Amino acid sequence: MAQRRIRIGIDTGGTFTDVVAFDEDSGELVTTKTPSTPGNPADGFIAGIEKILEIVGAEGSDITAVSHGTTVATNKLLEGKVEALGFITTEGYEFMLEIARQSVPDGYGNSYFWVKPDRIVPADRVRTVGGRLDFTGAEVRPFDEDAAVAAARWFREQGITTIGVCLLHAYANDEHELRMREILRREHPEAVVSISSEVLREYREYERSMTTLVDAAVKPNVSRYVTNISQRLVTFTGGDRTGNVIPFYVMKSNGGVLSADEVVHQPITTVLSGPAAGALGAALIAKVAGFPRILTCDGGGTSTDVSVVLDGEPTLTTEGTVGAYPSKIPMIDVVTVGAGGGSIAWLSPEGSLKVGPHSAGADPGPLCYAKGGTQPTITDAHVTLGRIPPHLLGGEIPLDVEAARTGIQQLADQLGLDFERCATGILEISAWNQANALRQVSVKRGLDVRDFMLTTFGGSGSLLACRLVDILDLAGVVVPPNPGNVSAFGLLTVDVKNDYVQTHVAKESVLDHAAVQGILDDLTDRAREALAKEGFAPEDHRFQRTIDVRYVGQAFEVRVAAPEAMDGQSVDAAYVDQVAEAFHAEHHQLYGYDFRGDATQQVEWVNLRVTGIGPITRPEIPTLGKADGGIDRAVRGSRRVCFDPDAGYVDTPVIWRTDLGAGDTFSGPAIVEEFGSTIPVHPGFEVVVDDWANLVIRKVAMKKELA
């Protein structure tokens, strides 16, 4: 029997592990889910692969590649469980982390006027080394070898084996940092070390220090996890017998993947691994369906991740944070809110109903899981109101509806509300939490949400879709088929990507064109070398170049794409003018004004960036044929559902999604079910099934306006 070629995407979430298999010969896509195993995520990973291979009738030796989205680094930072971590910096800068940045998360005029994150490294674990470079990289004072040796030995004696190194202006010259690492390797060989000139070659000492320390903090965990998965994958696929090692890729925050061997050296690049895959998968699905401008809403068991997609591409940022820690690596601009299916409903000390961010997770999970949960959750509210069935995964996991009802009733009694108002109140608070997150990635970026469709996915992402349309006045909703597996599907659509940056601050009027060209060429060479190491032929290499630009006197930059015809073209005055024009336009989009044509406001270049891309073959999204007969063929019965506490429970048809055909239409109230998710369609909304099996949901009044 001829060997098959199966590529697998596997996304590990807090509650479920989602798996998609792509047959590279037939083009067939198959999806499934399996419970996550928080105690050892590798167990759920292998269980997911075993399950999908059984479904498609393949063996481990048929796998050609595995792409993985992981939350190991994210969870490490969100939980704040950073073990003993050391920090080495330039003499005189030992309190850099304490100085930090001013932050006003809840606005001026309240108790949070001056907020700084807790130090990731206590002050007594900071050691300094003499020596000094200026901002050009020129040496002002020589590196103090004796102080470096003393610092390395001190960390060894203290048993601190994870160390971040950030020396002043190392972005311009890495010589001192490389010497520091050599000394650490000699004097403290057990130490895991991250140096800023390799993690983030960009100015701003606080952010560069924090990014380097975050990289160091997650490096041991990510290394252990990825190594464990790699070894078990080799054994599972027979690689230890045949000598063939299956390519294993890990999703990066920037929208690309990287081989597991390289990820262990760049662990910080995975801090938004799972959410990034979902945004990319949703972007591709929506673009094929004719919706290039969308907001994405990825609802899981623990949280909901939202992002914005323009012209089919998720937007990127270098101003992201993970938990309390800023991280300036390029990442898809994702905002996370604690509004997943397992988010707990609770009473504040003032007696107000709150939802999240605390979560029951996968274990013990919501009350209806009957695994020891003690507090009602969003999932409990949905199941008691009839909006989801009394089971998950097509009946594989039964739910205890009465346990959920008892928990919510107790909360309702404390609030003095009837049951339905309490349960719908839980869902209403969750919907507004999600809406506020969507505003952060749209309205705060100068975008009008009314111009956007919402693409919902994840196991719980579509449960509040209709309410989000009402709250935000969105154009409508697109729900892909198998929405619970969109993140895993996204992993099969992702190219290999490596990012490189170099700070080069100069006013446009005195920009040294040759120097800029030299830096871009150097960054491109580094990207080219990385792609070759990943096995890509030179003719397949692609490069994206961007420039961080600002007006002189501004504190922060705007990133703009460099002119496309870069290869073989020298940076000249015309090239610089194109960058300036792109900057003016982007600045106006973001802030409502620009200084185009104002000779008193100069443009200043700050950072030069190059991304090396190794393209992969993406699976095609299959089309859906029309089905004979009316919509009744897809109706699998009905149940009583409460959409509005004033209206009470209404008889609602339950539609099995896989029985729908292209062109089918129906109106709410309705419940659409499939193996991994449920979509409640509220009264006043209409659904159209498009040619790619997406459910396109719009308000009836809005549909009339469009007509």
Whether residue 260 is contained in a domain is answered as yes
SS3 387: coil
The domain that holds 138 is classified in CATH as 3.40.1360
Whether residue 87 is contained in a domain is answered as yes
Between 619 and 641, residue with greater pLDDT? 641
Mean pLDDT over each residue of the chain, to the nearest integer: 88
Percent of the chain with pLDDT over 70: 93
Q: What's the burial of 91, exposed, middle or buried (CB within 10 Å: 0-12/13-18/19+)?
A: middle
Tell me the per-residue pLDDT of 574-587, one tens digit each, with 9 for 90 and over.
999 999 999 999 99
Tell me the per-residue pLDDT of 106-130, one tens digit each, with 9 for 90 and over.
444 444 445 666 788 989 999 999 9
Whether residue 509 is contained in a domain is answered as yes
Q: Which residues contact 176 (CB under 8 A, 6 or more apart)?
A: 129, 131, 133, 143, 167, 170
Last residue of a domain, one of 156, 187, 220: 220
**Residues 95 and 124 occupy one common structural domain:** yes
pLDDT at 202 over 50: yes
Last residue of a domain, one of 183, 204, 220: 220
First to last CA, the chain: 55
d(C-alpha 468, C-alpha 509), whole Å:
48
Confidence of residue 535 (pLDDT cuts 50, 70, 90): confident
**Residues 542 and 499 occupy one common structural domain:** yes
Residue type, 559: R
**Residues 107 and 209 occupy one common structural domain:** yes
Tell me the per-residue pLDDT of 599-613, one tens digit each, with 9 for 90 and over.
889 999 999 999 999
pLDDT at 476 over 80: yes
**Residues 173 and 208 occupy one common structural domain:** yes
* Domains contained in the chain, number: 4
**Residues 145 and 29 occupy one common structural domain:** no
**Residues 231 and 153 occupy one common structural domain:** no
Whether residue 421 is contained in a domain is answered as no
Q: Which sign, positive or negative, has the C-alpha torsion 227, 231, 237, 242? A: positive
The domain that holds 566 is classified in CATH as 3.30.1490
Which one of 227-241, 248-262, 308-322, 519-533 scores highest in mean pLDDT?
519-533
> What is the mean pLDDT of the segment spanning 402-422?
95
Whether residue 461 is contained in a domain is answered as no
Structural contact between residues 488 and 11, judged by C-beta atoms closer than 8 angstroms: yes
Tell me the per-residue pLDDT of 34-82, one tens digit each, with 9 for 90 and over.
888 877 888 888 899 999 999 999 888 888 889 998 877 877 776 666 7
Which helix H or strand E contains 392, and what residues bound it?
strand 391-392
Q: Is the pTM of this model over 0.85?
A: no
| Cα atoms in the Cβ-side hemisphere of radius 13 Å centred on 63 | 29
- 135-162 in b/e form (b: 16+ CB < 10 A) is eeeeeeeebbeebbeebbebbbeeebbb
Q: What pLDDT shows up at residue 238?
A: 61
Last residue of a domain, one of 254, 270, 286: 270
**Residues 72 and 84 occupy one common structural domain:** no
**Residues 161 and 111 occupy one common structural domain:** yes
Whether residue 129 is contained in a domain is answered as yes
pLDDT at 221 over 80: yes
**Residues 66 and 191 occupy one common structural domain:** no
pLDDT at 102 over 90: no
CB atoms near residue 238 (< 10 Å): 15
**Residues 659 and 548 occupy one common structural domain:** no
> What is the mean pLDDT of the segment spanning 672-692?
94
Q: Which domain holds residue 506?
A: 495-614
Tell me the per-residue pLDDT of 126-139, one tens digit each, with 9 for 90 and over.
999 999 999 999 99
**Residues 548 and 595 occupy one common structural domain:** yes
Q: Which sign, positive or negative, has the C-alpha torsion 634, 637, 643, 648? A: positive
The domain that holds 240 is classified in CATH as 3.30.420.40
Whether residue 622 is contained in a domain is answered as no
| Cα atoms in the Cβ-side hemisphere of radius 13 Å centred on 170 | 30
**Residues 92 and 204 occupy one common structural domain:** yes
Whether residue 662 is contained in a domain is answered as yes
